[in-house]
């Protein structure tokens, strides 16, 4: 679809509260995980030239923005989220010349490019960190360094400054013999946290961001950006440190306390985001910023994304993707639809006046939604449930994010052995929970990994049904190249882009229709959201309203027949009496099956649809 075919919203129609409306008010973002997208040179790793090769595919899908997970120079402890040089491309992905070529080619196709920005922490191999290991260096205070707990021998058990545990297992503190102190890492020990209390750190980050913006990128997705402000007392001590005025939390089941309540949405977060906005984006047009919002409530999201506050354009919230967890990521429960409704409804209501929502189920940190909440046990069920979940999410108000392969209905990896995993979080969690803390059995933990482990979304993109799914050529591997860095999902024979491109009933073409609706129907991009039937555990239904136009969306989120709930049934009955004013926008089923479902009040498994109707004018 060309820009001339898109509906431009008039200023009288509000989106996020800005004047004028932002360019991204009807945009759709596509996330690329570079190492798993397309290998161009047979080394087993996806790369920038591989992405460039697939730009026609992305343009044909209809997306507007490409978000690249990190391609900076990195030891790859956490697949690039441990950056050793922000202004160099990692050789695994190519060169800076390749990056410049990709930017130019993407812009030629009308695709904007945003890069992942990881500035809560760096790699321990970054020159800033290496310099900070010397107490007399100007970088000495660029990270969170602390002495051993009083009365303890440095480096001995229990000598850590407080009891915080790291997100990837073990203590959040590592002793450095060269400096004779501990440094904080809320993730891996190879990912030391930057000290944003130091203004020199912030200015260095802003200079780097401006360097990339000047190079031609269109914005940033900011990794764990809501962790950059830590809670410290008036003496600069973190909770639980000796002499701190802030008490730490009790130790959890693995023997450590959680740093998250004292790291998420800290007291200076708004200050830092406003400062960043002014230092990097003031005077620039056409950019986009989205932050990963750990610990951010819907109300705080509304404040941070309110354009009058000059912070971020969007945030990723976690309430809805955490609604099937019982206190911890690895304690998974069957989805209760009412919990998902409550979470998404809260996110939508909060930005009903000002601010904006990010719409997503899948990304590089989440499992495949079709395996998590859909049904991937048969091709038919997978296709239907993938479409139903897509329609549910994309008909909400906000900016949709599609994770690579989601538009094909790609599934979880279904690994059965620990040695099949590559992700540091999954591997460390298994050892910590099973072998150290003994809080979960090996069999139970393997089931958890198979359900929600991050590698489920990181298997190679399935382009065709060849040996390596078109991610790379088998001949290249036979001629001395390397097999993909992680196993290809065997179901690439039935789930692949080549098979779906020309199938009008494919998941891919369903996504194309959803994207086109957002581009052309103002109700989809800007209409107010209202949840219907919040207590129904099988059907998710809601309306979107703009002026006299209303869209009614009804989704059976189950593999069994389900009755249309009361509120939706009443609206559909009234809409049916005005046939000339009602049109079917999109459906997972034929019109014949849909009419039968509406007439009988019973939806087929995974049946989903959106109807648009005209409301009667008020007297």
User: CATH number of the domain that 467 lies in?
Assistant: 3.20.20.80
Quote the tokens at residue 410: 């790609």
CA distance 307 to 288: 12
In a domain, residue 13? The reply is yes
Residue 184 CA to residue 527 CA, distance in Å, equals 45
| Strand 288-292 relative to strand 145-146, pairing | unpaired
Residues 275, 316 within the same domain: yes
Cβ pair 434, 441 in contact under 8 A? yes
| 367 and 382 co-located in one domain | yes
From edge to edge, which strands make up the β-sheet containing 608-614? 528-532, 539-546, 549-556, 608-614, 582-587
15 with 71, same domain? yes
Which residue numbers are catalytic?
A: 223, 292
Do 439 and 495 fall into the same domain? no
> What's the CATH code of the domain at 538?
2.60.40.1180
| Cβ partners under 8 Å of residue 395, min gap 6 | 514, 524, 542, 544, 551, 553, 610
Choose the final residue of a domain: 456, 489, 509: 456
Question: 257 has which bridge partners?
Answer: 164
The residue range of the domain holding 446 is: 414-456
Exposure string (b/e) for 391-413, b if CB count within 10 Å is 16 or more? bbbbbbbbbbbbbbbbbbbbbbb
With CA atoms as reference, report the closest residue to 570 among 590, 610, 594, 598. 598
Q: Write the CA distances from 216 to 203, 209, 212, 288, 527, integer angstroms.
A: 20, 11, 7, 13, 33
Do 488 and 420 contact (CB within 8 A), yes or no?
no
Question: Is residue 463 assigned to a domain?
Answer: yes
Residue 586: strand, helix, or coil: strand
Residue 77 in contact with residue 191, Cβ under 8 Å? yes
Does 156 map to a domain? no
Neighbours of 350 (CB within 10 A): 20
pLDDT at res. 619: 45
Q: Give me the helices (H) in 112-254, please.
A: 127-132, 199-215
Same domain, 376 and 479: yes
Residue 103 to residues 108, 111, 223, 592: CA-CA distances in angstroms?
9, 9, 21, 46
Distance, first Cα to last Cα, the chain: 39
Residue with tokens 């509260």: 17
Asked if the structure places residue 21 within a domain, the reply is: yes
Going by the DSSP 8-state scheme, the letter that residue 356 receives in this structure is -
DSSP character string of 424-476: HHHHHHHIIIIIIS--S-HHHHHHHHHHH-GGGG-SPP--SSSTTTTSS-HHH
Q: Is residue 157 in some structural domain?
A: no
Across 101-199, where does the E strand assignment appear?
A: 112-118, 145-146, 173-176, 181-184
Q: How far apart are CA 129 and CA 114, in angstroms?
A: 26
CA distance linking residue 185 with residue 165, whole number of Å? 9
Examine the domain organization and report whether 402 and 418 are in the same domain. Answer: no
Q: Could you tell me if 436 and 330 lie in one domain? A: no
187 within some domain: no
pLDDT of residue 516: 97
In terms of residues, how long is the chain? 619
pTM of full prediction above 0.95:
yes
The dihedral sign for the CA sequence 447, 452, 455, 456: positive
Q: Which of 424, 443, 613 is nearest to 527 (CA)?
A: 613
Number of domains in the chain: 3
CA dihedral 153, 154, 160, 166 (to 10 degrees): -140
Q: Is residue 586 part of a domain?
A: yes
- The burial of 190, by beta-carbon neighbours within 10 Å (0-12 exposed, 13-18 middle, 19 or more buried), is given as buried
Q: Residue 65 in contact with residue 113, Cβ under 8 Å?
A: yes
458-481 burial code (b ≥16 CB/10 A, e <16): bbbbbbeebbbbbbbbeebbeeeb
Report residue 207 as tokens: 């200079």
Return the closest-CA partner of residue 181 out of 143, 139, 224, 219.
143
Domain assignment of residue 37, yes or no: yes
Q: Are the C-beta atoms of residues 66 and 53 closer than 8 Å to each other?
A: no
Split the chain (619 residues) into runs of 10 and give each run's mean pLDDT.
68 89 96 98 97 98 98 97 98 98 98 98 98 98 97 94 94 97 97 98 98 98 98 94 90 89 97 98 96 97 98 97 90 95 98 96 98 97 98 98 98 97 96 93 96 97 97 83 95 97 97 97 97 98 96 98 97 75 94 94 98 83
Tell me if 568 sits within 8 A of 532, measured CB to CB.
yes
| Dist. CA 542–CA 530, nearest whole Å | 6
- Which of the listed residues 456, 487, 512 is the one where a domain comes to its end? 456
Q: Are residues 409 and 423 in the same domain?
A: no
337 shares its domain with 304? yes
| Predicted pLDDT of residue 5 | 72
Question: Do 15 and 48 belong together in one domain?
Answer: yes
Beta bridge partners of 194: 143
Q: Looking at the structure, do residues 558 and 483 belong to the same domain, yes or no?
A: no
Q: Beta strands of 460-591 (E only): which ranges?
A: 528-532, 539-546, 549-556, 562-563, 582-587
Q: Does 445 lie in the same domain as 404?
A: no
């Amino acid at each position: 679809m060309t820009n001339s075919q898109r509906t431009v919203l008039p200023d009288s129609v509000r989106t996020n509260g800005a004047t004028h409306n932002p360019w991204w008010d009807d945009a759709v973002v596509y996330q690329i995980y570079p190492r798993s997208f397309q290998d161009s040179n047979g080394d087993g790793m996806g790369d920038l030239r591989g992405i460039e090769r697939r730009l026609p595919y992305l343009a044909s899908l209809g997306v507007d923005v490409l978000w690249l997970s990190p391609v900076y120079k990195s030891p790859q402890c956490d697949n690039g989220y441990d950056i050793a040089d922000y202004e160099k491309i990692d050789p695994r992905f190519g060169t800076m010349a390749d990056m410049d070529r990709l930017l130019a080619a993407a812009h030629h196709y009308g695709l904007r490019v945003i890069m992942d920005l990881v500035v809560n922490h760096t790699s321990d191999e970054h020159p800033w960190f290496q310099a900070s290991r010397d107490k007399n260096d100007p970088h000495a205070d660029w990270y969170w360094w602390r002495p051993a707990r009083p009365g303890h021998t440095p480096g001995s058990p229990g000598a850590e400054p407080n009891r915080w545990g790291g997100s990837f297992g073990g203590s959040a503190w590592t002793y450095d013999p060269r400096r004779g102190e501990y440094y904080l890492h809320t993730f891996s020990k190879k990912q030391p946290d930057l000290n944003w209390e130091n203004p020199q750190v912030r200015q260095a980050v802003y200079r780097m961001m401006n360097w990339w913006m000047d190079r031609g990128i269109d914005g940033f997705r900011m990794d764990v950006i809501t962790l950059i402000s830590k809670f410290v007392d008036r003496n600069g001590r973190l909770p639980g440190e000796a002499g701190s005025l802030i008490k730490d939390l009790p130790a959890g089941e693995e023997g450590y306390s959680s740093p998250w309540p004292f790291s998420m949405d800290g007291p200076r977060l708004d200050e830092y985001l406003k400062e960043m906005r002014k230092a990097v984006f003031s005077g620039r047009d056409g950019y986009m910023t989205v932050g990963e919002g750990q610990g951010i409530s819907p109300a705080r999201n509304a404040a941070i994304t309110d354009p009058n506050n000059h912070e971020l354009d969007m945030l990723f919230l976690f309430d809805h993707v955490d609604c099937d967890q019982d206190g911890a990521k690895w304690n998974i429960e069957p989805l209760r639809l009412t919990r998902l409704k409550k979470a998404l409804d809260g996110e939508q209501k909060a930005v009903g006046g000002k601010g904006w929502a990010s719409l997503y189920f899948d990304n590089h940190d989440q499992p495949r939604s079709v395996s998590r909440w859909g049904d991937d046990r048969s091709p038919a069920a997978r296709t239907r449930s993938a479409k139903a979940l897509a329609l549910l999410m994309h008909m909400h108000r906000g900016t949709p994010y599609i994770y690579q392969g989601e538009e094909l209905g790609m599934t979880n990896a279904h690994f059965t052995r620990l040695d099949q995993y590559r992700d540091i979080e999954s591997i460390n969690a298994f050892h910590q929970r099973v072998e150290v803390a003994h809080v979960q059995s090996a069999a139970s933990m393997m089931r958890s990994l198979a359900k929600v482990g991050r590698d489920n979304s990181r298997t190679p993109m399935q382009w065709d049904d060849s040996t390596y799914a078109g991610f790379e050529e088998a001949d290249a591997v036979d001629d001395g190249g390397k097999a993909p860095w992680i196993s290809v999902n065997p179901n690439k024979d039935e789930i692949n882009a080549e098979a779906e491109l020309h199938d009008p009933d494919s998941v891919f073409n369903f996504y194309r229709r959803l994207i086109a609706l957002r581009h052309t129907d103002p109700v989809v991009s800007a209409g107010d959201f209202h949840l219907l039937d919040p207590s129904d555990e099988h059907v998710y239904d809601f309306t979107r309203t703009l002026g006299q136009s209303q869209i009614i969306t009804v989704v059976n989120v189950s593999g069994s027949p389900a009755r249309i709930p009361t509120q939706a049934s009443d609206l559909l009955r009234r809409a049916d009496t005005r046939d000339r004013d009602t049109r079917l926008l999109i459906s997972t089923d034929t019109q014949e099956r849909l009419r039968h479902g509406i007439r009988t009040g019973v939806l087929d498994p995974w049946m989903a649809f959106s109807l648009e109707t005209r409301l009667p004018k008020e007297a």
